Amino acid sequence: MRTFFVDQMAMYAAYHTDARNRLTHFFGVPAIAFSLLIPLAWLGFAEVGPYTVSAATLFAAAVMIYWVLGEPVVGGLTAIFYLPFLVLADWIAGFGAGIGGTLFVILFVGGWIIQLVGHAFEGRKPALVDNFLQIFAAPTFLTAELVFALGWRQELKEQVAALTPDYLPAGAPVTESLAG
């Protein structure tokens, strides 16, 4: 799984070499990830004490397990960062489809607009167009950026940097990000 994780991070890095693009993703990715949990929270399956296990719970658990299996430190931190989104989505879902649906649309559409502006700076389509799994790599990529900026997990950064050129268009320079 670790080799798969490093490969996915390298691909993501190659599609996000422009600093402005990466910055837009720090807003767009969380907005989209959070927005998706809202309608999923409406689909409750079981009560566990005061908590309703919903499709959002199951989806978040599956994605978080995927992240942690891919890279325990980065994946674990990503899961910790996104766990409050699940709690907030459950709370918002309680207000019904009017408020929840409005927030979903605003966050989902707004998040994509922000990211597409970033990709206009990049001059390259989003990575998920070529590999849909990149949609699940996005949150861990952002966490990895922060982890690397703090000087942690440098061996992982080097592994990702070594593979990133494999995903760049011919003649494209490698710039500072996960790849740098």
Residue 111 falls inside a structural domain: yes
**Which residue range forms the structural domain that includes residue 149?**
2-167
Give 138-161 pLDDT, tens digit per residue: 999 999 999 999 999 999 999 999
The DSSP line for 69-109 is HH-HHHHHHHHHHHHHHHHHHHHHHTT-HHHHHHHHHHHHH
What's the rounded Cα separation, in Å, for the pair 159 and 138? 18
Max mean pLDDT range (47-56, 114-123, 126-135): 114-123
Residue 116 pLDDT grade (very low, low, confident, very high; cuts 50, 70, 90) = very high
pTM for the complete prediction? 0.90
pLDDT band at residue 179 under the 50/70/90 scheme: very low
The Cα–Cα gap between 81 and 130 comes to 27
Is 120 a member of any domain? Answer: yes
Q: How many domains does the chain fold into?
A: 1
Residue 78 included in any domain: yes
> What would the mean pLDDT of 51-80 be, rounded to a whole number?
94
Q: What percent of the chain has pLDDT over 90?
A: 80
Whether 153 maps to a domain, the answer reads: yes
**7 in a structural domain:** yes
pLDDT digits (tens, 9 = 90+) for 16-42: 999 999 999 999 999 999 999 999 999
Instruction: For residue 179, tell me if it sits in a domain.
Output: no
Residue 175: inside a domain? no
Confidence at residue 173, expressed as pLDDT on a 0 to 100 scale: 64
Pairwise pLDDT comparison (95 vs 170), residue with the higher score? 95
Q: Quick check: is 52 in a domain?
A: yes
Average confidence (pLDDT) over 118-127: 93
Beta-carbon contacts of 126 under 8 Å, excluding residues fewer than 6 positions away, are: 15, 115, 116, 119, 134
Structure token pair of residue 2:
């670790």
